[in-house]
Amino acid sequence: MGDHSGYRTGAERVEVLERILGENERVARANRAAFDAAGVTVVNLMSAPGAGKTTLLAETLRRLAPHRRIGVIEGDIETSLDADRLAGFGASIALVNTGNGFGGECHLDAPMIASALPRLPLAELDLVIIENVGNLVCPAEFAVGEDRRAMVFAVTEGEEKPLKYPVMFRSADLVLVNKTDLLPHLDFDTEAFRRNLDAVHPGVDVLAISARTGMGVNAWCDWLADPLGAPGAAPTR
């Protein structure tokens, strides 16, 4: 075969990727078994950087943490800034920095979630929300043992994004359209966005929210209370 000087052929790349995803799948199943054994529902929250995941989670914990036992796995490449923002609401927080022993990856994978589990009192929790690393591509490729996926899309990102990043939009069970308080200041085309979303994920549940004003956050909390319920039960399209 000779020295490839760090380069791989297409076939070799596919083989390596399949091995990584196969190993991820195995650990994701183990995570899922641990969550099921503890009776915990798990939601994987994904988005591009800055779409509003942490702001929404703070509003979510403010509403739900007094009534439900919630854990958060906070994924970031570096810093505890987001984990710190979610402290003090009564939820259990486990931080995963991918830059700390996980190669600075741009997503959370199943082994990273497994590393966080000993730091959560799983048996005492009802719901675990995973804030994935801000990235519109890679997080969608890695199952982590979650029951449901939700993604936050901010109207500041542009209505064409479902067409450009279809894998993420297709993998979400619920699309939260955030920062709607900014709509009067933007030329965001809501109808075109809905058409583009329908083109890549027909019939997906959609919920318009503003994590800033709180609009729609209660409906999101209702979905979280029963994310395994009938599709389309809570969100409005």
Ligand X SMILES: Nc1nc2c(ncn2[C@@H]2O[C@H](COP(=O)(O)OP(=O)(O)OP(=O)(O)O)[C@@H](O)[C@H]2O)c(=O)[nH]1
Q: What residues make contact with ligand X under the rule CB under 6 A?
A: 47, 49-55, 82, 134, 178-179, 181-182, 210-212
Tell me the CA distances in angstroms from 124 to 41, 43, 197, 206, one per residue in order: 12, 17, 37, 31
CA distance 148 to 101: 27
Residue recorded with tokens 């890695």: 142
User: Least distance to Mg ion from the beta carbon of 18, Å?
Assistant: 31
Nearer residue to ligand X within complex by CB, 82 or 159: 82
The H-or-E segment that residue 140 falls in is none
CA distance 72 to 70: 7
Q: Shortest Cβ distance from residue 7 to ligand X (Å)?
A: 32
Give the span between the Cα atoms of 43 and 229, in whole angstroms: 13
CB atoms within 10 A of CB 184: 6
Which single residue brings its beta carbon nearest to ligand X?
134
Q: Which does 111 bind (CB under 5 to 8 A by kind): ligand X, Mg ion, none?
A: none
Which residues in this chain contact Mg ion in the complex, by CB under 5 A?
53-54, 82
Q: Which is nearer to ligand X, 30 or 219 (CB)?
A: 219
Contact partner, 181, from Mg ion, ligand X, none, Cβ < 5-8 Å per class: ligand X
Place of tokens 């542009």: 158
Residue closer to ligand X, measured from CB, 54 or 97? 54
Closer residue to Mg ion, CB minimum distance, 196 or 220: 220
Residue 173 one-letter amino acid: D
Question: Whole-number minimum distance, CB 104 to ligand X, in Å?
Answer: 15
